[in-house]
Amino acid sequence: MGGGGGRVAAQVASGLVERGHTIRVQTAGMSHLPAREMRDGVEILRARSFRKREDTCSVPEMALYLLTSFFPALRLAHSWRPDVIHAHFAVPTGALAFAISWLTGIPYVLTAHLGDVPGGVPEQTAGLFRLVNPLARILWKGAARTTAVSSFVAGLARKAYALDPIIIRNGVVPPEGKISRPLPAPMAPRLVFVGRLSIQKNPLLAVQAMAQVSDLSWSLDIIGEGPLGDALRAEITRLGLADRVTLHGWLEGGQVAALMARADILLMTSLHEGLPLVGVEALQHGLAILGSAIGGMQDLVQGTAEPANGLLCDLTVEAFVAGLRRILGDPAQLAAMQNASLRLAKNFELSAAVAAYEEVLREASGGA
């Protein structure tokens, strides 16, 4: 369930199973999903949540998740007696973890992603945090350990709650085989944009910037769907980009990986990010990254003055146009950025993230 945070939670759970642990996940249910399922060695338990979409969740749906999952989670805690509870997202999941921990004495660990800390996605959650922040403070302080997926998210949590979360950056499994990039890069670079077509991901800015470099050779693949889908299609037509931009809609993980393997540049025009998993995947495939100059991208793009593996741009069309011209106009620099991404990718492997979570969970459980 969910976007990048949900994928992170699933990967961490299956990775812990591979290391010999037993994991049960209490999550939101939907009518087309089984109430109980084994996947990658993880037992998944789903309580009906009245959620309408897998990829996003409204505040009322969050509240319904808490109501419908409370008794199933409490029964599981009493009957199974886990050593520790791991709550991905302090809000709302941390409230469930806090309640179960208070009633059973089982310690819990909070992992913050982005939207569950004040300031992460202010246009979506500012009103929510004005209401729930007193409760959120209790949830954070009650946790046996706290973690955050990036230095940016950890900084937001530190500012809001005067805590110092352990930073465990998102990781992925590296592609099979050795990934290498040519020097120089191809003369018609292939860009890829991956994400929900929403205000946060800002896809309209992406195509507007691409339209202003139409004198250069390039192609753009857009993977994802969302509320801005119709507006994006109309903008692509208006800008005359239909022959250079391909809209794929939602794709399975293997299909996304195949497109990334053929791409050269990841284009990210997001307004806010924690540590985007798609960016981590782009590193593993050796893509240069042209992204927004926002906190959550700082861990993925290093060396903005003399770029190492990409460029970070202010959130304007003009800034992204300048970045595009700089990368697309210099094949040798693009190839150098791609190889720098491959070097940086070693810092974002899933095995290291899982090992770090294992250590935190062991400490929280008292070494069980």
- Exposure string over 79-111, b if 16+ CB within 10 A, otherwise e: eeebebbbbbbbbbbbbbbbbbbeeeebbbbbb
CA atoms within 13 A on the CB side of 239: 22
Alpha carbon 93 to chain centroid, angstroms: 17
Q: Quote the CA–CA distance of 111 and 94 in Å, as a whole number.
A: 9
In the sheet where 42-48 sits, what is the strand order? 24-29, 42-48, 36-39
Cβ contact 30:54 at 8 Å: yes
Cα 66 to the chain's mean position, in Å? 22
HSE value, Cβ hemisphere, 13 Å, CA-based, for 120 = 29
Please give the pLDDT value at position 51: 84
- The residues, any chain, with a CB within 8 Å of residue 48's CB and separated by 6 or more, are 29, 68
Q: What is the pLDDT of residue 92?
A: 86
| H or E element in which residue 194 lies | strand 190-194
Query: Which residue type occupies 24?
Result: R
Q: Do the first three CATH levels of 4-171+349-364 and 190-348 match, i.e. the same topology?
A: yes
Spell out, as residue ranges, where the chain has pLDDT lower than 50: 304-305
pLDDT of residue 5: 81
Q: How far apart, in whole angstroms, are the C-alpha atoms of residue 145 and residue 365?
A: 10
Q: What is the distance between the alpha carbons of residues 163 and 96, in angstroms, rounded to a whole number?
A: 20
Residues in the chain, how many?
A: 368
By the 8 A CB rule, do 315 and 271 touch? yes
- DSSP, collapsed to helix, strand or coil, labels residue 201 as coil
Using a CB cutoff of 8 Å and minimum separation of 24, what contacts does 73-82 make?
73/26, 73/100, 74/99, 74/100, 74/103, 74/104, 76/24, 76/26, 76/45, 77/103, 77/104, 77/106, 78/104, 80/24, 81/106, 82/24, 82/106
Architecture of domain 190-348: 3-Layer(aba) Sandwich (3.40)
- Looking at the chain, list the stretches that DSSP marks H as alpha helix, in order from N- to C-terminal side: 4-18, 59-80, 93-104, 122-142, 151-161, 203-211, 229-238, 253-262, 277-284, 317-328, 331-344, 350-364
* Cα 71 from Cα 83, distance rounded (Å): 19
Euclidean distance between CA atoms 13 and 174, whole angstroms: 18
Q: Which residue has the tokens 């979360």?
A: 165
Which of 216-247 are b and which e, b meaning 16 or more Cβ less than 10 Å from the residue's Cβ? eebbbbbbbbbebbeebbebbeebebeebbeb
At 250 the three-state DSSP class reads: coil
Where are the domains positioned within the chain?
4-171+349-364, 190-348
Cα separation of 159 and 139, whole Å? 15
CATH number of 4-171+349-364: 3.40.50.2000
